[in-house]
Amino acid sequence: METVHLGPFVVPRIWTGLWQLSGNAWGSAPVSKIREAMKRHVDMGYTAFDMASGRTFSIAHVYLIDWIIYFIYVRVTYRPPQADHYGSAEIIFGQFRNSLSSESPRVIGATKWCVFRDITVDRETVKAAVSERLERMQTDRLDLLQFHWQDYTSKGYLETLEMLHDLQIEGVISSLGLCNFDTIRMDEICTQLGPGVIVSNQVQFSVIDTRPLHGMSDVCEKHDVKLLTYGTLCGGFLSDDWLGKPVPDPYSGTLTPSQRKYLDMIVNAWGDWELFQSLLRVLRDVGARHGAASISNVAVRWVLDHPFVGAVLIGARLGISEHIEDNYRVYGFSLTAEDNRDIEAVLDRSSGRRMVTTVGDCGAEYR
């Protein structure tokens, strides 16, 4: 298993994403089965879990049902300073980790504080947000707190991060990270806070969405920050399951919210379904050269082969659909120059390299 240093921790390069627990649209399972699935992951070495992402969609980039969900939750039920909707992820994870024996490996829980609207930036507000997560996760110190700020027109994110750093110095936060910050703001934040304060930025990165290659990678190297990437499998579209299949109907009700989002990106921002099928065939051929690695294995390996990537977050519908053994095969090979040439030949025919201007820099689709 490959590992990476992240703040004070040594963590695996594949993390388990718990966004399934943010709602029933991904399917649901009894808590007992979810805990059993978490234990299976830990036993296989997947000892890092990421709490569900706060979903804040721009109406220009989502389907109507996603906007309705966003409007109802964020606009109607929003209560500062929480500003997140994680479902039960933090609670279930905290209970699970506390149930482990002392002989179990160290299990890392990364959570978030996502600020969607204006808040009063003061120590009381910031401390309340951190305290809430400590209570939900049943711990006295957060392993990794990832911070998201929605409105760049307000510079409150700088002051808020300064206060979070103060709490880190006090010992209630082990590591600070960012979530969906763009290149300019990440550089600004790391410069102001100083070396080593920000350890990560969680952004979307895949063979489809290559925006981190256009500036973000340079800032990562400059400040020694690692990316924690999501969307690497495009909601499951980058898999053998979709090879040779017709384009799905986004309104059929059979797709998850993540799949509706990534389908829109594939057929509108990146290219079209026919070109996507060409990419899947190439990924399938590359996998065949490496002991029958799956399309998903190759897609994850392509991302991990970039040195500025710390880890890939792969969502798991715990107790419903898991790919523990298949994901583990990612560690068994590296892509060759021939593999990368074949993949790049398809990417050259796409609009992927223009997405940093058509969609915007990392995180722009959520603003």
User: Which positions ≥6 away from 103 have C-beta within 8 Å?
Assistant: none
E strands, the chain, are 3-6, 9-12, 14-18, 48-51, 108-115, 142-149, 173-179, 198-204, 226-230, 309-315
Residue 21: its pLDDT value, please?
A: 65
- Provide the phi-psi class of 62: left if phi over 0, else alpha when psi is between -120 and 50, else beta: beta
CA-based nearest residue to 94, from 161, 35, 19: 35
Residue 25: its pLDDT value, please?
A: 40
Q: How far is CA 155 from CA 8, 27, 120, 162, in A?
A: 29, 38, 12, 12
| pTM, rounded to two decimals | 0.88
Residue 71: its pLDDT value, please?
A: 38
Query: Total structural domains in the chain?
Result: 1
Taking the CB of residue 290, how many other CB atoms lie within 10 A of it?
18
* Domain ranges, residue 196: 3-366
- Provide the phi-psi class of 151: left if phi over 0, else alpha when psi is between -120 and 50, else beta: beta
Residues 336, 299: contact at Cβ < 8 Å?
Answer: no
pLDDT lower than 70: segments of the chain = 19-29, 52-87, 317, 319-322
CA distance 318 to 271: 32
Residue 124: its pLDDT value, please?
A: 95
Residue 59: its pLDDT value, please?
A: 28
CA distance 314 to 321: 12
Residues 243, 284: contact at Cβ < 8 Å?
Answer: yes
Output the domain CATH number for residue 201. 3.20.20.100
